Structure 1
Amino acid sequence: MPSSPITALLLSLATPLGAAAELSCRVIEVADGDSFACLTADHRLERIRLQAIDAPENGQPFGQHARQNLATLLLERPVTVRWEQHDRDGQIFGSVWVSPPDCPACGHTLDAGAAQLAAGMAWWLGEQAPQTEQERERYRFEEHEARARRTGLWQDAEPLPPWEWRGP
């Protein structure tokens, strides 16, 4: 995986706040396989991008599948977003937690980014991703397993990463 697009993405992030913030909201729209909009309790609209992954764009192969998978996980459900940064478009860039679909009473214990990787619906951004070492290990594992199972976009012999599909 080329590091320059990922490095450019990470360098485009705003300066961290210093301490992680937490946001609770209800997902009202899923834009693609790694971003969505939600409403807070005080009816503020927030745009969120899942950190550490990049999903296929809507117009590329598996883009609609990635979007639908994220919608199944999040749409019309309450989530918790843990974040420290905004991306270059002003979206909150963070980890997103939701109750597992098969256990709504379990609390927000499912990491949506890791779930997208496990379903073969995204690429992990690699070692440069703003994550703890434990998160990196989990994300690396989820992508590796999805590739080994040839699930989702890994069914394609040579899936085109979104940063290459978007071009320079």
Structure 2
Amino acid sequence: MSVSATALLCLVVAIHDGDTLTARCGAPGAWRQERVRIAAIDAPESRQAFGQRAHQNLARLCFRQQARLYRLGHDSYGRSLAHVRCQGQDVATAQMRAGLAWVYAPQAKQYPKLLALQRQARASGQGLWAQKRPLAPWDYRRKYPRL
């Protein structure tokens, strides 16, 4: 999948967790809501350690803010998959710097900058990396399905 060359301007109207939001996109009077999964990262689940902090950090960056979405396609749940910028910041980069997400494992090699940020956060004990044995969200979902 390739990144769309044009940005879609939206207003973020809901934050669901540390890597998913709902945005209202389009012209006034003709807008539509869409659920957006932030590309390249996987944040802790809501009930998981640091899940609420990841949610709060994404809300601080994006809630009720204009967002630029660079669509990549859709994920297996039908959500738009996109690179997202809020307040001039790449959201995936911000979540990684704060130590509140992992680089999404299947795509890790495509994002060397995010991998470097993850290594830095881990080395400094930032965010979720302060834990002795942080559990990746994909392992958490496998261990605790449908919690």
TM-score under structure 2 length normalisation: 0.87
- Aligned with 1:165: secondary structure? helix
Offset, 1:51:
0.6
Q: 1:143 aligns with which of 111, 118, 122?
A: 118
- 2: CA distance, partners of 1:19 / 1:122: 21
Shift of 1:22: 2.9
RMSD: 1.8
- 1:83 positional shift: 1.4
**Alpha-carbon distance in 2 for matches of 1:97, 1:28:** 15
Equivalent position of 2:38 in the other structure: 50
User: 2:108, 2:115 within 8 Å by CA — same for their partners in 1?
Assistant: no
Cα 1:140–1:19, aligned 2, differ >3 Å: closer, same or farther? closer
1:3-152 equivalence runs, <5 A: 16=1, 20=4, 22-40=7-25, 41=27, 42-99=30-87, 108=88, 110-126=89-105, 128-129=107-108, 131=110, 136-152=111-127
Q: Please, which runs of 5 or more residues in structure 2 have no aligned partner?
A: none
1:32-83 CA-to-partner distances (Å, cap 9, x unmatched) read: 0000001113321011001110000001111001000100000000010101
The structure-2 alpha-carbon separation of the partners of 1:19 and 1:27, relative to structure 1 and needing over 3 Å to count, comes to: closer
SS in 2 for 1:90: coil
How far residue 98 of structure 1 moved from its aligned partner, in angstroms, is: 1.7
Identity %: 38
Q: Do the aligned partners of residues 19 and 157 (structure 1) sit closer, same or farther apart at CA in structure 2, a change above 3 Å counting?
A: closer
Unaligned runs of 5+ in 1: 1-15, 100-107
The AA in structure 2 aligned to 1:34 is D
- Contact conserved, 1:126 with 1:140, CA < 8 A, in 2? no
Aligned length: 139
Give yes or no for contact 1:25–1:80 (8 Å, CA) kept in 2. yes
CA contact (8 A) 1:27 1:36 kept: yes
Change (3 A) 1:29 1:19: closer
Whether 1:156 aligns to 2:131 is yes
**Structure 1 position 128, deviation (Å):** 2.6
Q: Find the aligned partners of 2:20 and 2:45 in 1 and give their Cα distance.
A: 11
